[in-house]
Amino acid sequence: MSVIYLDNNATTRVADEVLEAMLPYFCQYYGNPASMHTFGGQVEKEIVRAKERIVSLLGISDITEIVIMSCGTESDNAAIHGTLESYPHRRHIVTTKVEHPAVLNLCRHLSRSGYQVTELPVDSEGMLSLDELRAAITENTAIVSVMYANNETGVIFPIEEIGQVVKEKGSMFHVDAVQAVGKIPLNLATSSIDLLSLSGHKLHGPKGVGALYVRKGTRFKPFMIGGHQERGRRGGTENSGGIIGLGKACELAEAHINDENTRVKALRDRLEKALLTSVPNVRLNGHKAHRLPNTTNVSFEYVEGEAILLLLDSHEIAAASGSACTSGSLEPSHVLRAMGIPFTFAHGSIRFSLSVYNTEKEIDTVIRVVPEIIAKLRAISPYWKEATAKTKARGAGQPTRKAAS
């Protein structure tokens, strides 16, 4: 099937090179890396190589700062639990309203078992206020957990500035970088980040493997308690194939990061510009500049996101929406709600997230198809006629970009 895949923030295609690197570790070199024989020991060597590739992408060199996890979610859970357990007298967590559920639902869960949680708000462009952050952190704050880049809007938080505030206040700093790793250059060597989460399947690696960076000297207690694997910081026999795949994916990401920030970004910009100019009553969700190079999130007024996705699907275009109907919940995405997107736009959001595998031709197709789809749905929408009337009154059918309230 020749699907036009623009849902890379959900998951990515495993790179051919990654699969190739992994395959021998299932049927051929299946030994346990902890074993006292060469057959297992040779796997351990490859795991070390994989970790070297992971730290290299993060701009550091010490592989003991990496703890392998089973996914991004586990990495987030391990970071927060591991810190809370290390600072048992601190009972406060600071996070944001726009985190992935892996962090947000965990914090809400913890708030029911005695922790105090502050969820920082964001403005209409999805940005945080450093002053509000500073005011939120107290001596009781064990951990500040803030995402690097938002999965829905691609908005990038000013992580180093945030880190400075956190360090001034003497709290631990966790960053969910699941969407950032591989898409933008990171340099943890000069960073104030204590803990950082990443996930393999977001950067053309396999599903079911992730990692937690734990800066040397950071207090940490294991979340998954078991054997002595990962230097006692995460029990469980190593997912050798997965780890080796993640290592290869990190190596490729390092090689492609320039392409991602030039060619992929140009494709994204072209798509975004075309949609914002060819369709009336459309808006961009999220800060225009502080954004991942691959992501665009736009809302089409008076139409519903799931309906758009289904019509895109009929053209074999895969995208995502923050509409209620797609999330299985009944309300639009918590991220868009936190940004205060006007409700006439909130249900009609579409996220296109690109990768290095996307081509000009694919983007051309999307640019051609989307306006037709929106027009078709607006012809069915009871709200549309009044809306056009409003647009006309304001100025001859110009695309309106209402500011978020």
Partner 1 sequence: MWNYSDKVIDHFMHPRNVGVIENPNAEAEVGSIACGDMLKIQLKVDDEGIIRDAKFKTFGCGSAIASASILTEMIIGKHVDEVAKITNKDIAEALGGLPEEKIHCSVMGRDALEAALANYRGHTRKTPEEEDHSKLICRCFGVTENKIRRVVQENNLKTVEQVTHYCKAGGGCGACHSEIEDIIDDVWKVKAAERCERPEKPKQLTNIQKIALIQDTVEREIRPALRADGGDIELIDVEGDKVLVALRGACAECPASPVTLKGYVEQKLREFVSDGLHVEVVSQ
Ligand X SMILES: Cc1ncc(COP(=O)(O)O)c(C=O)c1O
Binding residues for partner 1, rule CB under 8 A, total: 26
Cα-based angle 222, 146, 103 (whole degrees, multiple of 5): 55
Q: For residues 299-318, which are near partner 1 according to CB under 8 A?
A: 302-307, 310-311, 314
**What's the closest the beta carbon of residue 135 comes to ligand X, in angstroms?**
25
Tell me: does residue 343 bind partner 1 (CB under 8 A). Answer: yes
Contacted entry of partner 1, ligand X, none for residue 147, CB cut-off 5 to 8 Å set by kind: ligand X
> Which of the residues 27, 71, 107, 325 is marked catalytic?
325
| CA separation for the pair 337, 343 (Å, rounded) | 9
Task: Give the binding site for ligand X (CB under 6 A).
Answer: 71-73, 76, 100, 102, 147, 151, 176, 178-179, 199, 201, 210
Using CB distances below 5 to 8 A depending on partner kind, what does residue 380 bind out of ligand X, partner 1, none?
A: partner 1
* Catalytic status, residue 71: no
Q: Kindly state the tokens that stand for 14.
A: 């495993």
From CA 150, how far away is CA 49, in angstroms rounded?
30
Which CB sits closer to ligand X, 209 or 312?
209
The secondary structure of residue 95, as a DSSP letter, is E
Nearest residue to the partner ligand X, using Cβ: 72
Q: Contact between 331 and partner 1 (CB under 8 A)?
A: yes
Q: Interface with partner 1 includes 398 (CB under 8 A)?
A: no
344 binding partner 1? (CB under 8 A): yes
Left, alpha or beta for 205 (phi > 0: left; psi -120 to 50: alpha)? beta
Alpha helices in 159-239, H assignment, sequence order: 159-169, 229-232
d(CA 164, CA 193): 9
Interface residue with partner 1 among 323, 333, 349, 358 (CB under 8 A) is 323
Q: Which does 176 bind (CB under 5 to 8 A by kind): ligand X, partner 1, none?
A: ligand X
Do residues 305 and 160 lie in contact, with contact meaning Cβ atoms separated by under 8 Å?
A: no
Q: Does 338 bind partner 1 (CB under 8 A)?
A: no
Q: Are 266 and 75 in contact (CB under 8 A)?
A: no
Neighbours of 150 (CB within 10 A): 29
C-alpha 139/C-alpha 148 separation (Å) is 24
What are phi and psi for residue 29, nearest 5 degrees? -100, 70
- Give how far Cα 385 sits from Cα of 37, 381, 382, Å: 74, 8, 7
Report the nearest approach of partner 1 to the CB of residue 319 (Å).
12
The site partner of 67 among partner 1, ligand X, none (C-beta below 5 to 8 Å per kind) is none
User: Which residues are the active-site residues?
Assistant: 325
By the criterion CB under 8 A, which residues form the site for partner 1?
A: 302-307, 310-311, 314, 323-326, 328-332, 343-344, 347, 379-383
